[in-house]
Structures are given as structure tokens and as C-alpha cells.
């Protein structure tokens, strides 16, 4: 098991919703934790009668020898402290481990020749404690775990009969390796990844890292002082945002990765478009223009106030693009725009697009 990789994914799950922007305890939305997968005391769940849970169950399929070692690592936050409870056994041996505030159990059931259904249960048995962001990492030393999202055809019916309550198991680690699963309270795909551009967790559900980082930097000195006093996690988020270099912030602005699968043929028109060679020139008045050339703008559509304001202005070609319908769009920055450098960094409001028919030689 690649522990570092697993930890990065699992920690993202562990702290998701733990502290929300603006990361101050005085904020109304931080009066209660918004973590996913909290297991409450059984008496509370029974009295509440809602959707809260006191346990979760993960069922996954394993193909291999019954003598292989199975390891389960239950993880949760207890009063804001990361807590891990390990359990080790063999595929064929049922095991139950009682710990302070709960218990974890493992059992297996043969479902076909050389294939077993593994059942992992985590319960909160305390009177008052909450096990927040509860999840489990399941790994085997031999054989392999079966994808529950995309099982092989021979095991699809058996996989559909597995009961997962409160968590969803996905393969985790290097793509193609089937030795470890994460039973997550958040629905994830197999082999989830944290974007390499990410500087660290922001804890805010459905986070958009660039926007949140920029918003953190706008907090007043008084607000930042309160964030620092709101706990280790909030303080680390603030300090990380303040120390990020400008070039790292630019990386957060957006990245297009290859959309075509491995092989020679793209699998959709989108992939054909996204992976096509970029246009280098555009013909205007019989002249081939490229990035860096000066042009004069002659908007024809009058679609918004910019079409009127930019008419007749001199601009610099910043790029030549093609949209999904293969129509050429010329990206420009206005020559005398005080914020021209922002347009060159692809910032909206300073970078404009026109068809070749809407530009002319200066």
C-alpha cells in the first residue's frame, strides 16, 4: 500500500467540511461541523429518527487465497483529533475489535470459487462521543480487491448484491493496482486523486481552491487574527494561503489535461477538438497574423457594451483559438489597457475574443 498516497486522499475525506470559509469560529456556519460520515451514539440516532447513523457497513469482493492477510484501518476525528484503529486478520478469519467509543468487525463469505465477499462494519458504541468523518482503508496482502464501480462481467451480479451503507468503497492507489480500497463517506471514483496543483486541503465542501485562496487573502487583519485563534487546521490554511507564491496561484487558474484515452483513436468529437494542434496564424486582409501582431478592432455584433467601447481600438493578438464548431476566434488584449498584463494572464475583463472578420490591419 502506498501509505503517502492513501493518506493524502483519506485526509481530504477526513477534513472535508471540518471548517468552512471564512474559517472563524464566530461564523454561523462553523457553529456546527459539516463533516461527512459522522457516526453518532446509538441512543441519539434512535431518538432523532432521521438519517443520522451510528454505524457504517462496507461490503467488497476479493479474489484470491483465503490465507491472505486482510488489514482494516478505521479512521475518524474524535474531538478534532485524528484517530486510527487497526484490525488485522486473514481473509477466512472473522475478527471483532472493541476500542474506546466503538468497535470494528471483519467477516468474509465465499461467493464463488476463489472469490469472497468481505464485510467491514464500524460502530459507535459510546454514550456521548461523535466519530466524525468515519471511513476505512481496506487492504490485502495477496489476491486482489474487485472494483465495485466497474466490476468484471462475471462478478457484476454478485457485486450488485453487496450492501454498502454510509460509505462507498473505491480502489485507491496507483491506477491498475487492486490491493487497497477506501470506504469513503463521499462518493468517489476508483483511483481518486488530489489535483497536483493543490497546495493543501481547504476543508470547504465542493471547494474551488483558487477562489477560496483569493478570498482568504482578502480577510482583514482582525479576521485573520480570529482565524489563527480558531484552531490548528484553520491557522494552517491561512498561513499556507499567505505564503503561496504568485506562480502557484496562477497554476490554480485552470489546467487542461489530455482528454483522449491511450491509443491511437480519440473516443469522442470533444477529444478530437481538445487535442488538435493549435492554430498559429489567422488570415486578415490577405496577411497571415500571429500572436504579438497589432490589429484594429471592428466589432460587428454589438452584443454588449464592450463591442461599442472597443470599436476602433488598437489591440495585440494574444492567441488564436478554435471553438468546438471549428470557428476561429482571435484572443486580443487592448494595447493601452492599464490591465493589459492581466489579459495576457488570461484574466476575464481584459482579454477579448473576436472573429477574423471583426479585426483589420492597423
- Domain of 290, CATH number, reads 2.30.30.490
**Same domain for 213 and 180:** no
**Same domain for 240 and 329:** no
Model confidence band, residue 34 (pLDDT cutoffs 50, 70, 90): confident
Q: Which residues, at least 6 apart from 207, have a Cβ–Cβ distance to it below 8 Å? A: none
User: How wide is the angle at C-alpha 148 spanned by C-alphas 144 and 150, nearest 5°?
Assistant: 100
Q: Residue 237 belongs to what domain range?
A: 209-251
**Same domain for 132 and 46:** yes
Query: Is residue 87 in a domain?
Result: yes
What pLDDT does residue 37 have? 87
What pLDDT does residue 56 have? 96
Higher pLDDT, 267 or 96: 96
What pLDDT does residue 74 have? 95
**Same domain for 217 and 316:** no
Number of structural domains the chain divides into: 3
* Percent of the chain clearing pLDDT 70 (strictly above): 89
**Same domain for 317 and 215:** no
The CATH number linked to 172 is 2.60.120
Averaged confidence pLDDT in the chain: 85
Query: Is residue 201 in a domain?
Result: no
**Same domain for 49 and 153:** yes
- Closest by CA to 135, choosing from 50, 53, 199, is 53
What pLDDT does residue 12 have? 77
Cell of 271: 477529444
State how far the Cα of 309 lies from the Cα of 260, in Å rounded to an integer: 40
Is pLDDT at 31 greater than 80 in this prediction?
no
**Same domain for 117 and 234:** no
Q: What is the mean pLDDT of residues 147-153?
A: 93
**Same domain for 114 and 175:** yes
**Same domain for 233 and 323:** no
Assign 249 to helix, strand or coil.
helix
What pLDDT does residue 274 have? 53
Model confidence band, residue 122 (pLDDT cutoffs 50, 70, 90): very high
pTM above 0.75, yes or no: no
- Residue 24 carries which DSSP code? -
Query: Is residue 126 in a domain?
Result: yes
Model confidence band, residue 302 (pLDDT cutoffs 50, 70, 90): low
**Same domain for 151 and 60:** yes
**Same domain for 219 and 180:** no
What pLDDT does residue 59 have? 97
Helix 221-228 crosses helix 232-243 at what angle (to 10 degrees)?
130
State how far the Cα of 171 lies from the Cα of 177, in Å rounded to an integer: 8
Q: What is the mean pLDDT of residues 143-165?
A: 94
**Sheet strands side by side (includes 81-90):** 81-90, 69-78, 132-140, 180-184, 168-171
User: What H or E segment, with its residue span, contains residue 3?
Assistant: helix 3-15
**Same domain for 124 and 246:** no
State how far the Cα of 358 lies from the Cα of 354, in Å rounded to an integer: 6
State how far the Cα of 339 lies from the Cα of 297, in Å rounded to an integer: 18
Alpha carbon 283 to chain centroid, angstroms: 41
Query: Is residue 22 in a domain?
Result: no
Query: Is residue 325 in a domain?
Result: yes
Query: Is residue 16 in a domain?
Result: no
Amino acid at each position: 500500500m502506498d501509505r503517502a498516497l492513501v493518506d493524502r486522499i483519506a485526509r481530504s475525506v477526513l477534513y472535508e467540511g471540518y471548517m468552512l470559509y471564512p474559517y472563524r469560529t464566530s461564523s454561523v456556519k462553523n457553529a456546527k461541523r459539516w463533516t461527512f460520515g459522522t457516526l453518532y451514539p446509538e441512543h441519539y440516532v434512535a431518538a432523532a429518527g432521521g438519517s443520522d447513523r451510528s454505524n457504517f457497513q462496507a461490503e467488497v469482493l476479493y479474489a484470491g487465497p483465503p490465507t491472505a492477510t486482510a488489514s482494516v484501518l478505521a479512521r475518524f476525528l474524535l474531538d478534532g483529533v485524528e484517530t486510527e484503529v487497526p484490525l488485522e486478520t486473514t481473509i477466512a478469519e472473522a475478527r471483532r475489535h472493541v476500542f474506546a467509543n466503538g468497535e470494528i468487525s471483519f467477516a468474509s463469505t465465499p461467493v464463488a470459487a476463489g472469490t469472497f465477499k468481505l464485510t467491514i462494519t464500524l460502530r459507535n458504541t459510546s454514550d456521548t462521543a461523535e466519530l466524525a468523518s468515519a471511513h476505512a482503508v481496506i487492504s490485502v496482502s495477496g489476491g486482489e480487491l474487485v472494483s465495485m464501480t466497474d466490476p468484471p462481467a462475471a462478478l457484476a451480479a454478485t457485486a450488485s448484491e453487496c450492501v454498502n451503507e454510509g460509505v462507498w468503497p473505491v480502489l485507491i492507489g496507483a491506477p491498475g493496482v487492486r490491493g487497497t480500497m477506501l470506504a469513503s463517506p463521499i462518493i468517489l471514483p476508483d483511483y481518486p486523486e488530489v489535483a497536483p496543483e493543490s497546495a493543501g486541503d481547504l476543508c470547504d465542501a465542493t471547494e474551488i481552491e483558487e477562489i477560496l485562496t483569493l478570498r482568504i487573502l482578502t480577510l482583514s487583519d482582525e479576521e485573520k487574527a480570529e482565524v489563527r485563534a480558531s484552531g490548528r487546521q484553520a491557522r494552517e490554511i491561512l498561513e499556507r494561503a499567505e505564503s503561496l507564491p504568485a506562480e502557484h496561484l496562477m497554476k490554480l487558474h485552470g489546467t487542461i489535461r489530455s482528454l483522449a484515452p491511450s491509443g491511437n483513436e480519440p473516443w469522442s468529437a470533444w477529444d478530437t477538438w481538445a487535442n488538435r494542434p493549435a492554430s498559429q496564424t489567422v488570415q486578415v486582409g490577405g496577411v497571415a497574423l500571429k500572436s504579438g501582431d497589432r490589429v484594429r478592432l471592428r466589432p460587428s455584433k454589438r452584443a454588449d457594451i464592450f463591442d461599442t467601447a472597443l470599436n476602433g481600438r488598437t489591440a495585440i493578438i494574444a492567441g488564436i483559438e478554435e471553438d468546438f464548431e471549428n470557428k476561429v476566434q482571435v484572443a486580443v488584449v487592448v494595447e493601452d489597457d492599464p490591465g493589459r498584463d492581466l489579459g495576457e494572464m488570461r484574466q476575464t475583463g481584459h482579454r477579448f475574443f473576436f472573429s477574423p472578420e471583426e479585426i483589420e490591419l492597423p
